[in-house]
Amino acid sequence: MPARRRLLAVALTAATCLGTQALSYASAGAADASSTETVVSRGVEIPAFYTPPATLPTPNGSLIRTEPLPLAISLPTLEGPLPGRATRLMYKSTDSNGNPVAVTGAYIEPTAVWKAGGPRPLVAVAPGTMGQGDQCAASLGLEHPLTFNGRTMSVGYEDVAIYRLLATGAAVVVTDYAGLGATDRLHTYVNRLDEAHAVLDAVRAARSLPGTSVTSASRVGLFGYSQGGGATAAAAELQASYAPDITLAGTYSGAPPADLTSVTKAIDGSELAGALGWSLNGFLQSDPTLKPIAEAHLSAAGKAALTDLSTMCVGDALFGYGYAKSTKWTTDGRSISDIIASTPVFQTFLDSQRIGTLKPSGPVRVATGISDNLVPHGQARRLAADWCAKGADITYKPVILPNVISPLLNHFAPLLTDQGSAVNWLTARLAGKTATSNCGALPILP
């Protein structure tokens, strides 16, 4: 099948599952926090709600503002709308440099009754890769599951997992991460500290939201796949030091990008090669000292690609940069991975993003497709092994599916086939049931 037709097939599969130039690329699309001008990203007007105020509160997790969020998929019932009533959130967090940051997201109070005893639990959902444009934010995806205007295409595929969790009677809070949705900065894609903080502070924000059934005694779970799996994994590692006020009943980490050196090499030349641009944009946003190095190695085409990608969603990147090779983005024809490997400061930065160096709090279920060659299976399995070696309570689940050639489908298929089991596992933890670690069997598991 020709490459373009394969891309179309992949994009349609994903959708149906839901029913200049200089270093401007590192901050493209960002708006001044105090600006009152309307922010438009690829023809999509970003609601004024998403522009942070100039001054933020001090405590992490503090609510900055809220408003009702209309859910696109909602059914009226005698007990209230299904799956529940949603509130758009903006809350305060802290980025990897220790600076305050406003993060957006959503809280959904479910209509379904929690039947497992005790107060209604809370699940923080960390979205998978949505893109880097503000229009791609998961909270906007709850309101507009499919956005397509000829200039951008965003699919709110995380709505499926969110609705499944709400059906159990658990309340759900969703984070958009730093810089995704909020218009004052660029999204720091796969930055483990930014993402972990955003997830944990989303829990704090949900707890402080008035008029909900969540209490201080509510058990807390984390749920994420792909980028979200990395975010929940990092949050489980950092909970003890960053958010000791939160006790984790369980964490689901699906297909976590734990080793970015391995992941950046794997996505280069794949259908989702655009994610390499999102990663670089995020690295340069987090550590501006890397900019001169990037400037020296990126060609005009590479800089233009990073600027273009900084406002793209997954759908845009599939069609605009599917199968792109980073050798076309550099001045000497080397790949981005080769340049990183030969540049100690860049490699040190990626090493600092490694997940698996700390023991996570609470039980964690790590799932990874054995044929996943986009977020490689081997590095996700290694995360489970590293955690087991630290004495963590780990349930390791290799998802056995055939290799279907397409890296994106190899990565996406386990999300669908394992999602029900992941929800059931987390629901059991929220009900107070003890997890059974299988670290002892991990050496013989694929």
Q: What is the DSSP string of 375-424?
A: TTHHHHHHHHHHHHHTT--EEEEEE-----S-HHHHHHHHHHHHHHHHHH
pTM, two decimal places: 0.92
pLDDT computed for residue 36 by the predictor: 61
Residue of 260, 263, 233 lying closest to 394 (CA atoms): 233
In the structure encoding, which two tokens stand for residue 219, read together? 């058990």
Residue of 189, 168, 165, 167 lying closest to 177 (CA atoms): 189
Q: List, in sequence order, every residue forming a beta bridge with 313; answer none if it has no partner.
A: 131
> From CA 234, how far away is CA 354, in angstroms rounded?
9
Q: Residue 5, Cβ neighbours under 10 Å: how many?
A: 9
Residue 193 DSSP one-character state = H
Q: What is the three-class DSSP state of 161?
A: helix
> From CA 412, how far away is CA 216, in angstroms rounded?
35
- Residue 402: cis peptide before it, omega within 30 degrees of 0: no
Cβ pair 220, 245 in contact under 8 A: no
pLDDT computed for residue 242 by the predictor: 98
pLDDT computed for residue 244 by the predictor: 98
Angle 166-211-68 from CA coordinates, rounded to 5°: 70
| Measured CA distances, 233 to 227, 236, 351 (Å) | 10, 5, 16
Angle 207-213-214 from CA coordinates, rounded to 5°: 30
Residue 131 DSSP one-character state = B
For 243-282, b where at least 16 C-beta lie within 10 A, e where not — what string?
Answer: beebebbbbbbbbbbbbbbbbbbbbbbbbbbbbbbbbbbb
Cβ pair 162, 142 in contact under 8 A: yes
Residue 113 DSSP one-character state = P
> From CA 406, how far away is CA 262, in angstroms rounded?
18
pLDDT computed for residue 37 by the predictor: 78
Q: List, in sequence order, every residue forming a beta bridge with 126; answer none if it has no partner.
A: 224
Exposed/middle/buried for 127, CB within 10 Å: 0-12, 13-18, 19+? buried
Cβ pair 49, 90 in contact under 8 A: yes
pLDDT computed for residue 14 by the predictor: 38
pLDDT computed for residue 78 by the predictor: 79
Q: List, in sequence order, every residue forming a beta bridge with 105; answer none if it has no partner.
A: 89, 175
> From CA 111, how far away is CA 431, in angstroms rounded?
18
pLDDT computed for residue 79 by the predictor: 83
Cβ pair 173, 34 in contact under 8 A: no
3-state secondary structure 231-277: HHHHHHHHHHHHCCCCCEEEEEEECCCCCHHHHHHHHCCCCCCHHHH
**pLDDT tens digits for the chain (446 residues)?**
444 333 333 333 333 333 322 233 333 333 334 446 789 999 999 999 999 999 999 999 999 999 999 999 998 887 889 999 999 999 999 999 999 999 999 999 999 999 998 999 999 999 999 999 999 999 999 999 999 999 999 999 999 999 999 999 999 999 999 999 999 999 999 999 999 999 999 999 999 999 999 999 999 999 999 999 999 999 999 999 999 999 999 999 999 999 999 999 999 999 999 999 999 999 999 999 999 999 999 999 999 999 999 999 999 999 999 999 999 999 999 999 999 999 999 999 999 999 999 999 999 999 999 999 999 999 999 999 999 999 999 999 999 999 999 999 999 999 999 999 999 999 999 999 999 999 999 999 99
Q: How many residues does the chain have?
A: 446
What is 313-361 written as a DSSP string? BHHHHHHHHTT--GGGSBSSS--HHHHHHT-HHHHHHHHHT-SSSSPPS
